[in-house]
Structure 1
Amino acid sequence: MMNQQLMKFIRKNIFNTLFVVFLLVIVFVPDVKAFFIKGLMEIGFYKPNVETPKENIPGLNGIRFKDAKGNVIDLGDLKGKVIFLNFWATWCPPCRAEMPSINKLYAKFKDDKGIIFIFADADGDFSKSGKFMYDRKYAMPVYKVESDIPEKVFAGTLPTTVIFDKQGRLSFRHEGVANYADQKIVDFINKLKGSL
């Protein structure tokens, strides 16, 4: 009698139990959460808005990033180039979710001398971020922050992506996950490359 009641209770609550387990997996396993977010991106959620007005950021000179080889890049030295700057971390599920789309965008423009890509690991841990890129066969250049970053550029939310035009004006800023393989972004970057 007791076993029958227990089995009835289990059958009645199996859906609730599976649902709770599913939610816990999404919350505590970054790759599963990233996979779920990536699926939402592919069906049309998380499209970036490229209608952001251009804004001058005073003091673009002196915003520096360092790569794993010790080379330092200063945003102030990059006038005349479009700059795609992404702040991310290996432990961040939304960052992981958008990386495949960013990798596609990077592959499209990597040989273009008119655009510079900077992927700033918020933790500044080259061994971790390098392994992350290597394991996923991404060739994107990883940097760490080497100076103060104005809040208008990066306020601490991961991921954050900003794009500067050739005059060094902030032309796009997005906090949170987005699909950067979207044709709107490709067209936007091409438009910025052609602008004076």
Structure 2
Amino acid sequence: MKFVKGNIFNALFIIIILVIVFVPDAKAFFIKGLMEIGFYKPSVEVPKENIANLNGIQFKDAKGKLVDLGDLKGKIIFLNFWATWCPPCRAEMPSINKLYTQFKDDKNIVFIFADADGDFAKSAKFMADRKYAMPVYKVESDIPEQIFAGSLPTTVIFDKQGRLSFKHEGVANYADQKVIDFLNKLKNSN
């Protein structure tokens, strides 16, 4: 009887691990749980590299409106690269949505959520199914590697002068008070 109980426990354990590994929502749920207990806090240290010029770095929204980062000088830019199939992206979305909700009416901060696949139908359905109101964009130009080297998720924040002020590759909890304080500090600086 002991042998059978042990095998059942092992089989259940293996099934749970396989579900976490192969089911994106299950993996996202697991990562989100780790975020909530304190893992994946982003460091808000200023990156050492910088971008010379944001002009010509463009994104298009679902309505066809082009946004050029160079035209956003004087505003803080929160730029997140993500994909619907990416479990870490899915895990951090609730925290990003919370941050977006807090700052969405602030005219000094622009949020751009760049779907790495550029599939508006899929990303709009993803956002609607989860009741997220974040604006989805697709990349319309070359992106310098200092901004996005291909790792998903990647989040960058530019200050009012267009300087790279924050860069994080991988999942993070953006509802963390450190991030909120960092955005407010950028807002209040010249």
Q: TM tier, shorter chain?
A: over 0.9
CA contact (8 A) 1:54 1:171 kept: no
| Separation of aligned partners in 1, 2:167 and 2:189 | 18
Corresponding residue to 2:155 among 138, 154, 161: 161
User: Could you list the runs of 5+ residues in structure 2 that have no partner in the other structure?
Assistant: none
Query: Aligned pair 1:131/2:121, yes or no?
Result: no
Question: Which secondary structure does the structure 1 equivalent of 2:152 belong to?
Answer: coil
Query: Which residue is 1:150 aligned to?
Result: 144
Query: Aligned pair 1:194/2:188, yes or no?
Result: yes
What is the Cα deviation at residue 53 of structure 1?
3.8
Query: Aligned pair 1:37/2:31, yes or no?
Result: yes
Quick one: percent identity of the two aligned structures? Answer: 82
| RMSD value, Cα | 1.1
After TM superposition, the structure 1 stretch with the greater mean CA deviation from structure 2, 114-123 or 54-63, is 54-63
Query: Aligned pair 1:68/2:62, yes or no?
Result: yes
Give the alignment's TM-score, normalised by structure 2.
0.97
Question: Which secondary structure does the structure 2 equivalent of 1:150 belong to?
Answer: coil
Corresponding residue to 2:167 among 162, 165, 173: 173
What per-residue deviation string (whole Å, max 9, x for no partner) do you get for residues 93-113 of structure 1?
A: 000000000000000000000
| Separation of aligned partners in 2, 1:123 and 1:91 | 9
User: Which protein is bigger by CA-based radius of gyration?
Assistant: 1
| Separation of aligned partners in 2, 1:142 and 1:179 | 19
| Separation of aligned partners in 2, 1:89 and 1:195 | 32
How many residue pairs are counted as aligned between the two chains? 190
Q: Which amino acid aligns with 1:88?
A: W
User: Could you list the runs of 5+ residues in structure 1 that have no partner in the other structure?
Assistant: 1-6
Give the alignment's TM-score, normalised by structure 1.
0.94
Query: Aligned pair 1:24/2:54, yes or no?
Result: no
After TM superposition, the structure 1 stretch with the greater mean CA deviation from structure 2, 45-54 or 105-114, is 45-54
What is the Cα deviation at residue 13 of structure 1?
1.3
Question: Which secondary structure does the structure 2 equivalent of 1:118 belong to?
Answer: strand
| Separation of aligned partners in 2, 1:193 and 1:54 | 21
